[in-house]
Amino acid sequence: MAEENAPSGTLERVRLGRSSVEVTRFILGCAPLGGLYQAVSDEEAESTLEQAWLDGVRAFDVAPHYGGGLAERRVGRFLQRQRAGSFVLSTKVGRLLVDQGEGDSPAPEFAGEAPVTRVRDYSAAGVRRSLEESLERLGLDRVDIALVHDAEEHLDEALDGAFPALAELRAEGVVGAIGAGMNFCEHLERIVREADVDCILVAGRYSLLDQSAGRSLLPTCAERGVSVLAAGIFNGEVLANPRPGAHFDYRPASDEVIARARSIAEVCASFGVPLAAAALHFPLRHAAVQALVVGARTAGEVAEDVAHFSSSVPDGLYDELASRGLLGG
């Protein structure tokens, strides 16, 4: 069992908002384990999770959306073998998975998933049903963090239904912390101002290529004591490997974006720092950002990312990027 293996490194833990939930500052994002862009076998997924555990990662982020439940089932099988209380698990609400009917299905970005239909439901009843069904797929009796997922087009419904329901579940001790996850800063800021949340997950909006979350969202979170989980810090994969065909915000990156990423990489190289390491460290420079959610498909990717995370990056590198006009997106 993986629990018997001592981690090769100790990762710092931080508390989310006013909750009692503490996460490692490196959280494994499990969308790739649901087949994001490329199918992943059960064996590969298991190896990735084993490596994360070996490297000291004790926080995992999943969602029903990721592979139509596939990521939840895989992560659940792994965590069932770990000691209760030794890890923190986050999942999401807002999409119910059904066998037939009208909904968002299919999701072409996920390869190898079982045929399911995604039905949006941000009501109070939908939240409770979503969590119950997630627990069934996970094979666990609780999750620590529940995030309202991609509610930008259903925000009024979520503020009226989902968030009050999650607050009740938190008060009942069913979950430890609540929040929201999406790509859109203005909607997340409204949630922070109008809902009683502990944390938000903002994807792709505070990175070396896009700092739009830093204009208003992150200061608002800092003011209100809401923890920020920064996801999508490689903006797909272009900040890990800026090659033609690399993804940027869920689609192939433009030549302009690739050129900018390569210019950033050149500055990083002049400091002897890998581009991926600079991308990992950048979001944590903001006081509101408490932890990173880093997706990985293979054990090798996890090991490399944790090594970069555990390295040091000189402040002068970011100063040089700013002086060359390569920051500020």
Strand intervals (E) in the chain: 13-15, 22-24, 26-29, 59-61, 88-93, 95-98, 117-120, 145-149, 177-182, 199-203, 227-231, 247-248, 251-252, 289-295
The CA R_g of the chain, rounded to the nearest whole Å, is 19
Mind telling me the catalytic residues? 66
Which among 79, 72, 189, 86 is positioned nearest to 131, based on CA atoms? Answer: 72
Residue type, 158: A
Q: List, in sequence order, every residue forming a beta bridge with 36; answer none if it has no partner.
A: 110
Euclidean distance between CA atoms 136 and 264, whole angstroms: 44
Burial letters 217-243, b for 16+ CB under 10 A, else e? bbebbeeeebbbbbbbbbbbbbbbebe
Token pair listed for 31 = 């969308």
Q: Check: CB of residue 57 under 8 Å from CB of residue 89.
A: no
Euclidean distance between CA atoms 157 and 163, whole angstroms: 9
Query: Nearest-5° angle of CA 260, CA 265, CA 270?
Result: 130
- Say whether 304 sits in a helix, a strand or coil: helix
What string of DSSP letters covers 240-252?
T---TT-EETTEE
